[in-house]
Amino acid sequence: MRSIFKKIGVMLIMLTSLITQSQVGIGPAPYCMPLYSQIPCNQPWPSNTPGNGVNDFIHSYNTNGATFNIVNNGSGCNAQNLGGTKNYRFWGCQYYMITSPGQVITSNFQSGNVYSQGNTVFVDWNQDGVYNPAVFTGAVPGGERVTSAPGIPAAAAITPMPAWTVPAVAPGIYRMRVRCAYFTTGNTIQPCTNYGYGETEEYNVYVNTTPNTMTVTLTSNSPVCIGNMININTQVTLAPGAGTCVAAIPSFTYA
């Protein structure tokens, strides 16, 4: 019986991991895929290891001033297979911003520790699936480049980025793109251009709304006698609008 409970605990850990993953294997459609010719963005040693041959990525990104802020520090490179390896990660499940019109947002960017790289941030305010690269002026519709790191910060420097104000948009979920590129001035980085080295991360911005939740129900054929099979099934129910993550619905059978 102790062995059965141990296996159930392992199953719960596995299930939690599956549910909290972001969209691994699913691209950011309808948004353009931000391409880099040198992939993966960090090879072959762990993130920010001195002497890495390729070390161009967003090591940390965080915001301040929102009701709930993005704090994604020490993330390193997050290249993943999206129809081929891409230096891209959608972090919308784990990290997101909750805000309201009028809040003033500041942010910090930190690159890898080998090469200098610029950084810029876009928010799709009109929700048309396209990042307008024009500079945001506080009006909507208008530019969607909300802020950029000044110039080309030194490698590994924690760089404050200019503040921007959340505009008077309707309540909803807005996509944010944070993009770096090797030795490229932040405010010249384009949302879709193919750069040699760098990384792109995307987040959700919740304006006057909050993320919805999912409910997980576990069922089994317990109790069973020793030597018989125990079946553990999961049912995942997404709340309305909670479709930013893909919920896995596994079932397990243990002897």
Are 223 and 112 within one domain? no
Are 89 and 74 within one domain? yes
Are 154 and 247 within one domain? no
In a domain, 25, yes or no: no
Are 189 and 216 within one domain? no
Number of domains in the chain: 2
10 Å CB burial of residue 117 (0-12, 13-18, 19+) is buried
Cβ(20)–Cβ(95) below 8 Å: no
In a domain, 183, yes or no: yes
Are 219 and 191 within one domain? no
Are 158 and 234 within one domain? no
Tracing tokens 């993320």 back to the chain, one arrives at: 211
Are 80 and 196 within one domain? yes
Tokens of 48: 């920010």
Residue 216 belongs to domain spanning? 2-18+212-254
Are 187 and 250 within one domain? no
DSSP symbol at 214: E
**3-class DSSP assignment, residue 89:** strand
CA distances to 67, 90, 123, 245 from 23, in Å: 25, 6, 19, 6
In a domain, 23, yes or no: no
Q: How far apart (Å, rounded) are the C-alpha atoms in residues 122 and 30?
A: 15
Q: What is the pLDDT along the chain (255 residues), one digit of tens a residue?
A: 444 444 444 444 333 333 333 334 456 778 999 999 998 887 666 666 776 667 789 999 999 999 999 999 988 888 888 888 999 999 988 899 999 999 999 999 999 888 899 999 999 999 999 999 999 988 766 799 999 999 999 999 999 999 999 999 999 999 999 999 999 999 999 999 999 999 999 999 999 998 866 566 777 777 778 777 777 776 655 444 444 455 455 555 555
In a domain, 26, yes or no: no
Q: Which residues contact 11 (CB under 8 A, 6 or more apart)?
A: 232, 252
Are 135 and 157 within one domain? yes
Q: What is the pTM of this model?
A: 0.76
Are 78 and 154 within one domain? yes
Are 182 and 246 within one domain? no
